[in-house]
Structures are given as structure tokens and as C-alpha cells.
């Protein structure tokens, strides 16, 4: 079985990368218990809105638990926001679970709107056999 | 009703925007934006058009009667995926399987490009659309998993970017 990191290497670091990623790094002297100096990351990619044009989507955003509370998450998110502005993106979007109150509060505190609460947007997915079946129904 | 589904061309952008202008809230980008963003070496989106023969054209004379606009996304769990951003059929052409045809063709593109997921968003009060997708096997992740869609735009995005560390 191929480790998933191989797919990430293939998909993110070729001529036409499918995503970009920022990492948060601490000095050697502050490394994690397991010896990592990379303690957080934010993975994002370009999307498109027919209302507003080019936009960005934050797919993954993570800081190791022992490194939370030091502003690392805030810096990662702000830097993603800065990249979005530099690329002249009109929007930055992401998803969060309704039970994840700390994250929801974190985004709300930084001015994000919850479109599911405010406008009633639902996220819909087709995968596996349902996607196969749908693809076979073509006209 | 005879109809054909094909890839959009640059020339379709004007008609696409005309379709959109029938919708209650106007789109903010121009057909030049669509042409630039969709038909460059690294396009920001793909688009399928549904068209009818001349003799079946719309009251305003359009043969382009629907479209599906999609782009590629990435899931760190599943790899490359597709997001269906817009799916629209002119009201006078609904009920003939055109919407279903457009959706299935986007699913076919999804499979051909070896993407694991096809995702989209729908408003909670849009019962016909929610039923349409559910009938075709979609899961509503907001209902089943509690996923919320979050957005930073305009002022909040500016403020966020301005907070970035200056290193």
C-alpha cells in the first residue's frame, strides 16, 4: 500500500500543483516531544465563484495540541488571508463541524461569516458507488 | 425535447452571463472575466453547455439553455476532487432531463479525471434541488456530519491578510 504522503508529494510539488501549503516551524530547541520542528500547517487551493471570480479554499488547518495558544494558528490563517489578497482573490472559504465550537469561535472572532447559519447553505457530496452510478447516466 | 451537452467555448461566455442575468441577484463578474479565467493555459474552471436545436430556441432566441460550471479541488483524505459551482437550466426548459444530463456529465468528467468526490452547495430552502441531488445518491454533509460553510470576504479578508506576520 502506498503511503498517502506519496500522493501529497505528487499532487503538490509538480508543474501544476493541485494545492499549496504553509508550514509553521519552531527552532530545534523548541521541537515537539517526538522531535518535530514542523508543528502546524495550512493547505489551500484556488476555487472560482461566478459571482466574484477567483477565490481560495482552506482545506486543512492544523496546529499540534502542545503548540496551541501561542498565536501559531492565527499566524497561519492570516498568512493564508495575505496570500489570498496577493492573488486578488475575492473570498477565502473553508468548512468546520458544528460541534467544533473553539474553531467556529476562532473564525468568527476574525470576521468570518457562517454561511450555513446565516444563509442556509448545505454541503453536498457524491462519492463511491453513487458517483459511479451518476457518471453512467450521461445523456 | 432534443438537447446536446458539450464543453463550453470562449464564445459561450456572453450567453452564459445572459442566462445568469435572469437570476434574482446579478453576477458581479463580466463575460470578459469568464473568458479570461476559463480559457487560459491554466483555466480556473471547466464548463458544460446544454443547447437545443434552432427550432426549439428560447423565447429570447437562445439555443444555450443551461450550463454546469465546475472546478478541481483537493481532499487530503481522497486526493483530487470536483466542485460543481453552478448548475442552471432556464425555467422554460426544465422537466426534460437537461439538469440531470448536465449533472451526469459533470460526474463523468469527475470519473475520467480520476477524482474521488463530486461536491456542491445547495440552500436549505431549495427543496427541489435538495431532492434532485438526494434522489441521485448524494449525501447532505451538513445534515449527516454537521459541516458548516465558512467565508471571509471583502473587509474581513482584508483585515485577516493585514494581520499576517511580517517575516
- The string of pLDDT tens digits covering residues A22-49 is 999 999 999 999 999 999 999 999 999 9
Which three-class secondary structure state does DSSP give residue A127? strand
- With contact defined as beta carbons under 8 Å apart, do A81 and B163 qualify? yes
Q: Work out the number of other CB atoms within 10 angstroms of the CB of residue B3.
A: 20
Cβ atoms of B82 and B109 within 8 Å: the answer is: yes
Q: Scanning every residue of chain A, which has its alpha carbon at the shortest distance from the alpha carbon of B97? A: A139
User: Which chain A residues contact residue B142 at CB under 8 A?
Assistant: 116, 121-123
Q: What cell was used for B91? A: 425555467
Average pLDDT of chain B? 89
What's the rounded Cα separation, in Å, for the pair A111 and B56?
48
ipTM (interface pTM):
0.90
Whether B118 sits inside 8 A of A125 (CB atoms) is yes
Instruction: Give the model's pLDDT for residue A1.
Output: 64
Mean pLDDT, range A81-86, rounded to an integer = 94
How confident is the model over B138-159, as pLDDT tens digits?
Answer: 999 999 999 999 999 888 898 8
Residue B101's pLDDT is what? 93
Could you identify the residue written with the cell 470536483? B82
Length reported for chain A? 139
pLDDT, mean of residues B120-138 = 93
Contact A122 B140 (CB under 8 A): yes
Select the residue of B37, B133, B156 nearest A124 (Cβ to Cβ): B133
Interface of A with B in 5-34 (CB under 8 A): 7-8, 11, 16, 18-19
What is the average pLDDT across A92-103? 95
Residue B77 has pLDDT above 60, yes or no: yes
Rounded Cα–Cα distance for residues A44 and A11 (Å):
13
Mean pLDDT of the region B30-58 = 91
DSSP-derived 3-state class of residue B143 = helix
* Pairs of CB atoms within 8 A across A/B: 253
Amino acid at each position: 500500500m502506498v503511503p498517502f504522503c506519496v500522493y501529497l508529494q505528487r499532487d503538490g510539488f509538480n508543474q501544476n500543483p493541485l494545492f499549496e501549503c504553509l508550514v509553521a516551524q519552531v527552532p530545534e530547541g523548541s521541537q515537539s516531544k517526538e522531535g518535530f520542528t514542523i508543528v502546524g500547517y495550512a493547505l489551500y487551493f484556488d476555487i472560482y465563484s461566478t459571482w466574484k471570480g477567483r477565490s481560495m479554499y482552506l482545506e486543512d488547518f492544523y496546529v499540534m495540541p502542545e503548540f496551541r495558544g501561542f498565536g501559531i494558528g492565527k499566524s497561519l490563517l492570516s498568512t493564508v488571508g495575505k496570500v489570498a489578497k496577493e492573488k486578488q482573490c475575492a473570498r477565502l472559504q473553508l468548512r468546520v463541524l458544528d460541534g467544533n465550537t473553539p474553531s467556529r469561535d476562532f473564525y468568527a472572532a476574525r470576521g468570518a461569516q457562517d454561511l450555513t447559519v446565516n444563509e442556509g447553505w448545505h454541503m453536498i457530496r457524491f462519492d463511491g458507488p453513487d458517483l459511479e452510478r451518476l457518471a453512467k447516466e450521461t445523456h | 425535447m432534443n438537447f446536446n451537452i458539450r464543453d463550453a467555448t470562449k464564445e459561450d461566455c456572453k450567453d452564459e452571463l445572459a442566462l445568469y442575468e435572469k437570476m434574482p441577484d446579478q453576477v458581479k463578474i463580466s463575460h470578459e472575466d469568464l473568458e479570461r479565467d476559463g480559457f487560459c493555459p491554466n483555466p480556473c474552471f471547466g464548463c458544460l453547455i446544454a443547447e437545443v436545436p434552432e427550432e426549439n430556441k428560447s423565447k429570447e432566441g437562445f439555443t444555450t439553455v443551461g450550463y454546469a460550471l465546475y472546478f478541481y479541488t483537493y481532499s487530503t483524505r481522497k486526493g483530487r476532487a470536483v466542485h460543481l459551482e453552478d448548475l442552471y437550466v432556464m425555467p422554460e426548459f426544465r422537466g426534460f432531463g437537461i439538469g440531470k444530463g448536465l449533472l451526469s456529465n459533470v460526474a463523468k468528467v469527475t470519473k475520467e479525471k480520476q477524482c474521488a468526490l463530486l461536491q456542491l452547495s445547495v440552500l436549505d430552502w431549495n427543496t427541489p434541488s435538495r431532492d434532485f441531488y438526494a434522489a441521485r445518491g448524494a449525501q447532505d454533509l451538513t445534515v449527516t456530519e454537521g459541516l458548516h460553510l465558512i467565508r471571509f470576504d471583502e473587509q474581513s479578508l482584508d483585515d485577516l491578510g493585514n494581520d499576517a506576520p511580517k517575516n
